[in-house]
Amino acid sequence: MRVLIVEDEKKTASFIRKALQSEGFAVDVCHRGDDALTAVTTTPFDGVVLDIMLPGRDGLSVLRQLRERNDHTPVLLLSARGEVNERVEGLNAGADDYLPKPFAIAELVARVRALGRRGAESKSPLLRVGDLTLDTMLHRAQRGGKFFDLTAREFRLLEFLMRSAGRICGRMSIIEKVWDYDFDPGTNLVDVYVKRLREKIDEGFEPKLLHTVRGAGYVLKE
C-alpha cells in the first residue's frame, strides 16, 4: 500500500513516515499543499494523510480540488484544531476520515490501514476471533459454549473490536464508533467498559483475547 503524507511540520512528517514504513507501507512525503496536488496527479496512491494547515494551499482546498477532479483516493485529514465544525467541514469536503492532533501513532496507522480497506470491510453477520463468536443478527456472543450477557453498549464495543480484530483500536476510534461522540469525553469511559468486557469474555478462558496497548488503545487478537 502506497501512502502520501502531506505535512509541513518536518518532525511530525518524519515520525508518521517511520511508523508507516515500519508497518510495511510505501511512503512519500511532501510539505506543501500545491506539491501534494501534483504528486497525487503523477503517482497513484492508495491513501493520503493530509494536514489542514499547509503552506501553498491548505488541506481542505487540496481535498476539494481532488474531489472536483473525480479523484477518489481515500484521504485521512489531520488537524491541529480538532474542533467539531472543522471535522464536519472536512468530511463534507470529501475526507474519508479525520484525526485531531495530537494523536496516537498506533491510531493513525490503524486508520491509514482502514483507508485501504474502505468498502471491503466484512459485513458478515457472524464474527469470529479464536473461539469467541458474535452473531450480529441474533445479538448473541459466546465463547467455549458459554453465552455472555452483554448490555447494548458492550455488544457494540465487542462488535467493533471484533471487526477490527488484530488492529489496535485507539480510544478516539472507540469513542467515535461505539458512542458516536464527536468530542473527547475526558473520562475513563472506554477503559471502564473495556475492563468489564474483559471480565466477561476473558476471565476463565485461555488464551486472553482482549489486550491493552499502553499509550495507544486496545486490540482483540488471538
Partner 1 sequence: MKIRTRLTLWYATILIVSLAIIGVGTYQEIAEQMEHRHLRHPIWEEAFDETSEMIFPVGLPAIFLGLLGGWWITRKALAPVTALTRAVESVNDGNLREQLQRSGNGDELDRLTEVFNDMKARLDGSFQRIREFTLHASHELKTPLTVIRGELETALREENFTPAQKERLVSQIDEIERLAKIVDGLTLLAKADAGQVKLKFEPVRLDDLVRENVADAKILAQPQNINVDLRGCDELTISGDRHRLRQLLLNLTDNAIKYNRPDGSVAISLERNNGFAELKIENTGAGLVPELQPRVFDRFFRGDSSHSNAVDGCGLGLSIAQWIALAHRGTIEFASEPNKQTIVTVRLPNS
Q: List residues binding partner 1 (CB under 8 A).
A: 9, 11-12, 15-16, 18-19, 22, 80-85, 100-106, 151, 153, 181-189, 192-193, 196, 214-216
Q: What is the 3-state secondary structure (H, E, C) of 44-112?
A: CCCEEEEECCCCCCCHHHHHHHHHHCCCCCCEEEEECCCCHHHHHHHHHCCCCEEEECCCCHHHHHHHH
Between CA 172 and CA 89, with CA 191 as vertex, the angle to 5 degrees is 15
Least distance to partner 1 from the beta carbon of 7, Å? 10
Between CA 146 and CA 193, with CA 141 as vertex, the angle to 5 degrees is 105
* Closer Cβ to partner 1, 31 or 153, answer by number: 153
* Closer Cβ to partner 1, 18 or 69, answer by number: 18
* Closer Cβ to partner 1, 126 or 213, answer by number: 213
Cα torsion 112, 218, 83, 181: sign: positive
* Closer Cβ to partner 1, 2 or 81, answer by number: 81
Least distance to partner 1 from the beta carbon of 51, Å? 10
* Count of other CB atoms within 10 angstroms of residue 68: 9
Q: Using CA atoms in the order 113, 114, 116, 120, what is the torsion angle rounded to 10 degrees?
A: 140
Which residues share a beta bridge with 28?
4
Least distance to partner 1 from the beta carbon of 186, Å? 5
Least distance to partner 1 from the beta carbon of 184, Å? 6
* Closer Cβ to partner 1, 185 or 204, answer by number: 185
* Closer Cβ to partner 1, 121 or 199, answer by number: 199
* Count of other CB atoms within 10 angstroms of residue 164: 22
Least distance to partner 1 from the beta carbon of 192, Å? 6
Least distance to partner 1 from the beta carbon of 119, Å? 26
Per-residue cell: 192: 471502564
Least distance to partner 1 from the beta carbon of 212, Å? 11
Q: Helix, strand or coil for residue 132?
A: strand
Between CA 181 and CA 190, with CA 186 as vertex, the angle to 5 degrees is 65
* Closer Cβ to partner 1, 1 or 175, answer by number: 175
